Structure 1
Amino acid sequence: MPEVYEYLTEVRYPCDRAELLRRATAGGADDAVLGRLGTLPEQEYDSSDTVHRLLGQPEDPHT
């Protein structure tokens, strides 16, 4: 399964879950990735590292 960060490269933080889903969709994310992002709490995210930590994924190697 592709890593979520591959679909969030254009995200500007802070942002909310809806923005993460919009950016991932625009980036061509599949249903599995969108489903994982959809499990995130409805809140503001300050960085990609926070998103990946909550998803239990390795942090974005590009940050």
Structure 2
Amino acid sequence: MGQVSPIQVQKYLAGIDYPCDRAGIVSAAEDNGADNEILQALKAIPDRTYNGPNAVSEAIS
């Protein structure tokens, strides 16, 4: 699996109410049409609560 860009990921996280946990982030990305590579990257982030999009980006990179 190639490395996904945090910028690519952010466009699929629109509309999330933070704080949000991993399951909520993955669900929102699915609802926003994220492809399998993005979804796999999000499913691989630690299962914790994220306070904003920057925290999600840091977890991916």
TM-score, with structure 2 as normaliser: 0.86
After the TM superposition, which segments of 4 or more aligned residues of structure 1 sit over 6 Å from their partners? none
Gaps of 5+ in 2: none
Q: Where does the alignment leave 5 or more consecutive residues of structure 1 unmatched?
A: 57-63
Q: Please state how far the C-alpha of 1:15 moved relative to its aligned partner.
A: 0.5
Give the TM-score normalised by the residue count of structure 1: 0.83
Q: CA RMSD in A?
A: 1.3
What amino acid maps onto 1:41 in structure 2? Answer: P
Which of 23, 32, 43 aligns to 1:38? It is: 43
Choose between structure 1 and 2 for higher RCO, CA contacts under 8 A separated by at least 6 residues. Answer: 2
